[in-house]
Amino acid sequence: MKTKLYVLYGGKSVEHEVSLKTAVTVLHSIDESRFDAYPVYITRDGLWCTPGQLSKVGLTVERLIAQPELRDPARSIGEILSGMMALPGPKVVLPLLHGSNGEDGTVQGLLELLNVPYVGNGVLSSALTLDKAMSKQVLAQAGIRQTEFMACRFEEWRSDKTAILSEVENRIGYPCYVKPASLGSSIGISRCTNQVELLTGIGEAFSYDKKLVIEREVDGREIQVAVLGNERPLASLPGEFIHDHVFFDYETKYMDKRLAMSIPAKLADGLTSRVRELAILAYQAHGCEGLARVDFFLDGDGEWFLNEINALPGFTNFSMYPVMWERTDGTSYSELIEKLIGHAVARHEAKQTIRYAR
């Protein structure tokens, strides 16, 4: 019997479109001799629905978008769970939900309650990695170097803007980056070189989240490492996007056709092995399982600064994460999906040995 693979995509998130692009690529690449794919679309309002089983032939983003029959999120989720996801036989869930309400532990918690295997990180690691402020505390505890930073909640900002501006200018300095604490894909992030830009950037970040992080800029290269596995994770060769942008924002990441990948990144002796070690250390410090991409800065003195860890990195066939694995050990895109499914099943089976009664 083939395994039923429930692919969740879309989501109540500003990264909705990124998720759709990921889902198209994944559905094109699934081995239909081993898996029956069941697409589950989550609207921007959090409604769950399905376009039904789809053929790979002519599959597009537009065909993935379904029209929900139910307008209540709880009822729509119940309909999917009691119908499609209650079908008999082996099953695995593949969440392709970037950002809030999907990559932050919320959907993972639901899947834990359903006791089904699912690809990617669990509740705690998903929540930690998406919340940049909490992640930085974990990294500090693990002794991993980061740039100078501070976190700020909306109520703190509203209560004493003068004190926070003073702290930023005296401790962080310019240029600095203002980031919503719990978003990815560089959405809502601003590079600030003076107080006017800082005020604008803080306002922008707070429109996406009620907590933000402000970081000192590191003048150096951006290097990424893909990590894969559960208890004994592996790190890929490091990769780098070659570009001439001062700030690698959303438009640059997804729309600049001039971007070029350098994999492996051209690094001095010893730096490659060190950054792979640091990537695994950060991965394990967050309790990650399945996959993550770990992003670093390398300054002119050869010092590594961990920027952030992404528990559900971009996953189209031209995204850095799968390409790094292909160039590290020859793993194809479809093989990578199967490895991730294998790690999900292994983790689920291990959990079944846990006792819940005395």
Which are the contacts of 145, defined by CB distance < 8 A and separation ≥ 6?
303, 304, 305, 306
Q: List where CATH 3.30.470.20 sits in the chain.
A: 220-350
| Given the residues 100, 125, 126, 319, the one annotated as active site | 319
**What superfamily would CATH give domain 220-350?**
ATP-grasp fold, B domain (3.30.470.20)
Is 15 part of the annotated catalytic residue set? yes
Paired with 214 in beta bridges are: 150, 178
Tens-digit pLDDT string for the chain (358 aa): 899 999 999 999 988 999 999 999 999 999 999 999 999 999 999 999 999 988 888 899 999 999 999 999 999 999 999 999 999 999 999 999 998 888 999 999 999 999 999 999 999 999 999 999 999 999 999 999 999 999 999 999 999 999 999 999 999 999 999 999 987 667 899 999 999 999 999 999 999 999 999 999 999 999 999 999 999 999 999 999 986 666 655 555 545 566 789 999 999 989 999 999 999 999 999 999 999 999 999 999 999 999 999 999 989 888 999 999 999 999 999 999 999 999 999 999 999 999 888 8
CA distance 120 to 141: 24
Q: List where CATH 3.40.50.20 sits in the chain.
A: 3-118
Neighbours of 55 (CB within 10 A): 9
CATH of domain 148-216: 3.30.1490.20
Q: What's the confidence (pLDDT) of residue 257?
A: 67
Q: List where CATH 3.30.1490.20 sits in the chain.
A: 148-216
Is 33 part of the annotated catalytic residue set? no
Paired with 222 in beta bridges are: 297
116-149 burial: b if 16+ Cβ within 10 Å, else e: bbbbbbbbebbbbbbbbbbbbebbeeeebebbeb
Handedness of CA 239, 184, 62, 84 (dihedral sign): positive
DSSP 118: B
283-318 burial: b if 16+ Cβ within 10 Å, else e: bbbbebbbbbbbbbbbeeeeebbbbbbbbbbbbbbe
CA distance 209 to 60: 31
Closest CA to 23 of 328, 348, 312: 312
One CATH from 1.20.120.160, 3.40.50.20, 3.30.230.10, 3.40.50.2020 for 3-118: 3.40.50.20
Q: Which tokens go with 146? A: 């980061």
> Under DSSP, is residue 241 helix (H, G, I), strand (E, B) or coil?
strand
Paired with 191 in beta bridges are: 177
Q: What's the confidence (pLDDT) of residue 255?
A: 56
Is 319 part of the annotated catalytic residue set? yes
Neighbours of 150 (CB within 10 A): 17
Q: What's the confidence (pLDDT) of residue 249?
A: 58
DSSP 203: H
Closest CA to 210 of 293, 101, 131: 131
Closest CA to 132 of 199, 165, 177, 171: 177
Our CA angle for 284, 5, 327, nearest 5°, is 50
Closest CA to 336 of 353, 356, 316: 316
H or E element that contains 290: strand 290-299
> Under DSSP, is residue 27 helix (H, G, I), strand (E, B) or coil?
helix
| Alpha-carbon distance values, 226 to 48, 262, 295, 349 (Å) | 31, 14, 9, 25
| Given the residues 185, 236, 240, 289, the one annotated as active site | 185
